[in-house]
A and B are shown apart, each in its own frame.
Chain A
Amino acid sequence: MSVPEGKATDLLTNYDPGLYYDELFGGRDYPAEHSALIRQRLAGLNFGDLLRRSQDAERELYNLGITFLVYSNKDAVDRILPFDIIPRVISAKEWAHLEAGITQRVTALNLFLHDIYHDQKILKDGVIPTDLVLGNGCFRPQMVGLDVPFDTYIHIMGTDLVRDREGTFRVLEDNGRVPSGVSYVVENRHMMQRVFPDLMQDIGIRPVDNYGHKLLDAMMEIAPQDVADPQVVLLSPGSYNSAYFEHIFLAREMGVPLVEGRDLVVENDRVYMKTTNGLARVDSIYRRIDDAFIDPKAFNPDSMLGVPGLLEAYRKGNVALANAIGTGVADDKAIYCYVPRMIKYYLDQEAIIPNVDTRICREADALRYTLDNLDKLVVKPVGEAGGYGITIGPRASKEELADCRAKLLADPSNYISQPVVDLSVCPTVTDDGIDPRHVDLRPFAITGKNTWVLPGGLTRVALKKGTLIVNSSQGGGSKDTWVLQDGAQEGSAS
């Protein structure tokens, strides 16, 4: 099967990204060469065919159970993450830049974590306000003075990137606790290979299916050194967790058991899992449970998900945890603002990928500025995830703005503000044809001894016309992300 060549009345003729940067066309005046062949193939498609493939893909995702759980009034419902079959394409050059930037950022954040849990030089030197770190709910005193293998704290990192109107990638958020979404990166590629092999043909796309191997390598690297053949497990909150599919996916890709807290016990500061033949030693745990729930003895005593005694076993060096405990202090929305200065401080480099210009409302000037420009800014609570509690000024009603103002005044240190970033768009299949929709990008980096970045990442797309919120819990979908190989065909069709 092959895609017919594009014609004058083709699918992309009336496509108009407006003033936004377009991921498939590039800036308005500079149609991107690296994606020309893909555009040409897409343009030649019949819309009915495109819709049919799209429906096939979604049905298959549902049947395969590549779903997340959504809790409605009383039921837990399996939902697929809506999948758009038009890929987001990143050139080899763009990717080299992003890869370097993400590696730089992970390195700096790990240096920061090591510093604050040891000498706290960055605080003493006044680069970051001390109370912002030590007063942070995610700072874990239990980690002070503890050495972790390779000084790596954030083994798995998800960096949320957006692209502004000029086409500049910017970091919107760091996710250094238990970032999710990588399973969709790999499954989306499998799906494209099934429903759109003719679009992918001879493009030269960098593969993503070795993520599991890389993760397992890192988990083995950080295991206690005296263990010859470390037993790695993935610790999940269980099958009712909304990201359970991802836990399954990663356990399978690594070929390791997926355990829950109730499967593990700690005896004499060593961790064991309960098997059909009694207890078996566990050496390295990829945990998908937050710090607060991981050990009821050390943290939240009401946690039913954790393993009593795990922290002590970890502190004794008898078991490895990824990510380390206490990383939340580094990916906090308030700390985020200081990451460029952190990079300068530890690495003496400028940030390769800049931040979005951010104000910390705990500072009087910033609060005043935010209150004065409320209708132009995005206000985010620092503690929330998943796009909840965000007020987008230009789109908010008078009531919503008043409400936001009241919250800001009541608890300013809980908020940051940012200008509205005009997220880039990407051609997306809608009921009306191919239309631009806003996208972001979450690449994933794995760090054991060294850092490796999965080529591409999760492209989330805001499927509702005009909306900027891409979170799956708020009606977002995803796309396959193609990083082109260096020297891959760029230009016209062969």
Chain B
Amino acid sequence: MNLLARYAECIFWMARYMERAENLARILDVHETFARDTRGMTNWFSIVQLNADEKDFFSRHDRPTAEAVVHYYMFDTQHTNSLVSMLRMARENARVLRPWISTEMWTQINVFHNKLVEMNGKDVALSNLSKVCTWIKEECQTHTGITEGTFYRDQGWYFYQLGKYIERADQTTRLLDIKYHTLLPSPVVVGSTLDMSQWTTVLRSAAGYHAFRRVYPRGMSPTTVAGFMMFNEGFPRSVVMCVRQIDGLLTRLKSRYTLRNGSDAMEKVDELLGALLARPIEEVIQLGLHEYLDGVQAQLCGITTEIGRAFFGQDTVTMTQSQSQ
């Protein structure tokens, strides 16, 4: 059966917004729990930095207090990168897709969104932030599970997976990038206690701490953490793992449904995968991790653009959704 170009685009973005929401909930959660500085204060500002939201944030807040940052990322409807806005976008896409997706997928997103909207900022005191974040994360995972179990496997499924993995790869690079920024101002301080607890936080945000320990039972260094998150072939949130998925998905999508377009997107994916496999992490860090991650993000954007051109009927780059932070 034919898939409307507009539906393909909505499926792609619904997946991205759900993935993005899950990542944000993870970040807020581990921050509350683990990311405390030497005086026991949580560095909430780094979340604003991580999402490159400084300008927007300070246009409405004087100081990055815990309350301000939490509200900004959970309930601020004017802020497009808040959880409530992401869920609204995911739901809007799901709403358009109701003739296509399973009723269970729609119902879960609808109820999830409505509960989040009903939740007042006051309900989320810092003391139970973690509980709320866990709930959000679990709702996102429920979505993933329902999708896996009920979404009819045709073209739509591929666009869903493409959206999910592109978003996930992007989120991992952002997480690494900001930590690299804040934690490695100069190579000299590497190895301090604070530093390592921060890197633990990075791993925990991506649910990778235990997996990392399994691979590196002894010791933890910024290099091994970064290498693990970038290149590990078994970790489901590593960039390489995600890009390999994207590669396979595009290939199968194109061949199974004999789609005319998509070669440019596949070329871009090949390019990115080649670049990722070309250098070990030590070399990447030496050359500058930040610039490297910037490059990966730009390439992911490029893949999205090509997918849009090939399948969503976009001749020019006119994304209606906010593509990245």
Do A63 and B111 form a contact, CB below 8 Å, given A274-B313, A276-B5? Answer: yes
Do A248 and B5 form a contact, CB below 8 Å, given A64-B107, A239-B92, A277-B257? Answer: no
A-B residue pairs in contact (CB < 8 Å), sample of 15: A63-B107, A63-B111, A64-B103, A65-B110, A231-B2, A239-B95, A257-B4, A263-B5, A273-B2, A274-B4, A274-B313, A276-B311, A277-B2, A277-B258, A278-B261
Q: Which residue of A lies closest to B93 (CB)?
A: A239
Interface contact B8-A248, CB-CB below 8 Å:
no
Alpha-carbon distance between A248 and B96 when the two chains are bound, in angstroms: 9
Interface contact A274-B5, CB-CB below 8 Å:
yes
Q: Which residue of B lies closest to A253 (CB)?
A: B99
Quick check: is B260 within 8 A (CB to CB) of the other chain? yes
Contacts of B313 in A (CB 8 A): 274
Interface contact A248-B6, CB-CB below 8 Å:
no
Interface contact A65-B259, CB-CB below 8 Å:
no
A239-B96, A274-B5, A277-B257 known, 18 other contacts, Cβ within 8 Å? A64-B103, A65-B98, A65-B107, A239-B92, A245-B98, A248-B99, A252-B99, A260-B6, A263-B4, A263-B5, A263-B6, A273-B4, A274-B6, A275-B5, A276-B8, A276-B159, A276-B257, A280-B2
Q: Which residue of A lies closest to B104 (CB)?
A: A64
Contacts of B259 in A (CB 8 A): 276-277
| Minimum distance in angstroms from B258 CB to a CB of chain A | 8
- From 306 to 365 in chain A, residues with beta carbon under 8 angstroms from any chain B beta carbon are none
Instruction: Give B94-118 as 1s and 0s: 1 = Cβ < 8 Å from A's Cβ atoms.
Output: 0110110001001100110010000
Best-surrounded residue of B99, B103, B311 (most CB of chain A within 10 A): B99
- From 247 to 267 in chain B, residues with beta carbon under 8 angstroms from any chain A beta carbon are 257-261
Residues of A participating in the B interface, judged by any CB pair closer than 8 Å = 62-65, 231, 239, 244-245, 247-248, 251-252, 257-260, 262-263, 273-278, 280
Interface contact B311-A257, CB-CB below 8 Å:
no
| Minimum distance in angstroms from B263 CB to a CB of chain A | 14
Quick check: is B125 within 8 A (CB to CB) of the other chain? no
Contacts of A273 in B (CB 8 A): 2, 4
The 6 closest A-B pairs by CB, nearest first: A251-B99, A275-B2, A276-B311, A258-B99, A248-B98, A274-B5
Alpha-carbon distance between A274 and B308 when the two chains are bound, in angstroms: 13
Interface contact B2-A257, CB-CB below 8 Å:
yes
User: In the complex, how many residues of chain B place their beta carbon closer than 8 angstroms to a beta carbon of chain A?
Assistant: 28
Quick check: is B299 within 8 A (CB to CB) of the other chain? no
| Minimum distance in angstroms from A282 CB to a CB of chain B | 10
Interface contact A63-B110, CB-CB below 8 Å:
yes
A-B pair count, CB < 8 Å, reads 66
Do A277 and B260 form a contact, CB below 8 Å, given A65-B106, A263-B4? Answer: yes
Best-surrounded residue of B2, B92, B106 (most CB of chain A within 10 A): B2
| Minimum distance in angstroms from B212 CB to a CB of chain A | 38
Best-surrounded residue of B6, B8, B258 (most CB of chain A within 10 A): B6
Residues of B participating in the A interface, judged by any CB pair closer than 8 Å = 2-8, 92, 95-96, 98-99, 103, 106-107, 110-111, 114, 155, 159, 257-261, 311-313
| Minimum distance in angstroms from B18 CB to a CB of chain A | 17
Contacts of B260 in A (CB 8 A): 277-278
Interface contact B106-A276, CB-CB below 8 Å:
no
Q: Which residue of B lies closest to A278 (CB)?
A: B260
Contacts of B261 in A (CB 8 A): 277-278
| Minimum distance in angstroms from A212 CB to a CB of chain B | 12
Alpha-carbon distance between A280 and B2 when the two chains are bound, in angstroms: 8
Contacts of A239 in B (CB 8 A): 92, 95-96
| Minimum distance in angstroms from A232 CB to a CB of chain B | 12
Alpha-carbon distance between A468 and B98 when the two chains are bound, in angstroms: 34
Alpha-carbon distance between A276 and B5 when the two chains are bound, in angstroms: 5
Contacts of B257 in A (CB 8 A): 276-277
Interface contact A276-B3, CB-CB below 8 Å:
yes
| Minimum distance in angstroms from B303 CB to a CB of chain A | 16
Interface contact A275-B3, CB-CB below 8 Å:
yes
| Minimum distance in angstroms from B312 CB to a CB of chain A | 8
Contacts of A244 in B (CB 8 A): 95
Q: Which residue of A lies closest to B253 (CB)?
A: A276
Contacts of A275 in B (CB 8 A): 2-5
Q: Which residue of B lies closest to A234 (CB)?
A: B99
Q: Which residue of B lies closest to A67 (CB)?
A: B110
Do A276 and B95 form a contact, CB below 8 Å, given A65-B106, A263-B6? Answer: no
| Minimum distance in angstroms from A263 CB to a CB of chain B | 6
Alpha-carbon distance between A65 and B108 when the two chains are bound, in angstroms: 10
| Minimum distance in angstroms from B289 CB to a CB of chain A | 36
Alpha-carbon distance between A277 and B114 when the two chains are bound, in angstroms: 35
| Minimum distance in angstroms from A189 CB to a CB of chain B | 16
Interface contact B99-A257, CB-CB below 8 Å:
yes
Contacts of B95 in A (CB 8 A): 65, 239, 244
Alpha-carbon distance between A239 and B14 when the two chains are bound, in angstroms: 15
Alpha-carbon distance between A332 and B5 when the two chains are bound, in angstroms: 38
Q: Which residue of B lies closest to A276 (CB)?
A: B311
Contacts of A278 in B (CB 8 A): 260-261
Contacts of B258 in A (CB 8 A): 277
Interface contact B107-A262, CB-CB below 8 Å:
no
Q: Which residue of A lies closest to B262 (CB)?
A: A276
Alpha-carbon distance between A239 and B258 when the two chains are bound, in angstroms: 30
Do A259 and B92 form a contact, CB below 8 Å, given A64-B107, A65-B98, A276-B311? Answer: no
| Minimum distance in angstroms from B3 CB to a CB of chain A | 5
Alpha-carbon distance between A275 and B159 when the two chains are bound, in angstroms: 13
| Minimum distance in angstroms from A448 CB to a CB of chain B | 22
Q: Which residue of B lies closest to A256 (CB)?
A: B99
Q: Which residue of B lies closest to A273 (CB)?
A: B4
Interface contact B4-A259, CB-CB below 8 Å:
yes
Alpha-carbon distance between A195 and B98 when the two chains are bound, in angstroms: 24
Alpha-carbon distance between A244 and B313 when the two chains are bound, in angstroms: 24
| Minimum distance in angstroms from B260 CB to a CB of chain A | 6
